[in-house]
Amino acid sequence: MTAICGMRNIGTWMRRSDEKYFAPFFAKCPDIKVWNAARRDGPFEQMDGLLLTGGPDVAPQFLNQPVPDPSVIEKDVNPDRDRWELDAIKKAIERGLPIFAICKGLQTLNVALGGSLHLDIAGHNLPDQKTHDVQPLRSDRKTRHRFEKVNSSHHQAINKLGAGLEVESWCATDDIVEQVKLRDYPFALGVQYHPERGKIYDELFDDFLSRVGSR
């Protein structure tokens, strides 16, 4: 992604294949510069927000749990990315930066806070779920951002919640966690679904981007 020079900086590690999905949201904020650590890393002390995007499974060495069957872990894990993201989460929380975590990003956030994962779940990685809003949700009545159905496509998800995380929404059919927030924190939102691929999720990005650099 070609970042536009400006006064606000977002740190992320993003796959090339995902850049096209996020570009329209960043185009609305030309004063935000996106530092993609997959290509070039910027000084984190100059970051004003952290975006954790989708990707391969968290590498087993970073998990807070045993892996009885290593075959369930995807082959394309990226320990360098996991190491960068776990460190970035720690630094972002220390500084109170806004954090938006998506799919694998939510799982990494949960691991960073001491939580564990369901390592392989059925029925959450069907083709229609990648881009169609077909996964029915239930939400806590206090949830700020609520969606009736979402485009949730994944094979891992939160099991034990990390410290401070609070469930906002979950799958209506099997209670898999689909949305969390970090309690008593300015803004840290994690979603298991893929708002960057949908048409109904502008409010999530608007909320996150409005908080970047606004502390």
Question: Catalytic amino acids?
Answer: 103, 194, 196
User: Is the C-alpha dihedral spanning 77, 80, 83, 85 positive or negative?
Assistant: negative
State the SS3 of the chain.
Answer: CCCCCCCEEEEEECCHHHHHHHHHHHHCCCCEEEEECCCCCCCHHHCCEEEECCCCCCCHHHCCCCCCCHHHCCCCCCHHHHHHHHHHHHHHHHHCCCEEEECHHHHHHHHHCCCCEECCCCCCCCCHHHHCCCEEEEECCCCCCCCCEECCCCCCEECCCCCCEEEEEEECCCCCEEEEEECCCCCEEEECCCHHHCCCCHHHHHHHHHHCCCC
Calpha distance 69→5 (Å, rounded): 46
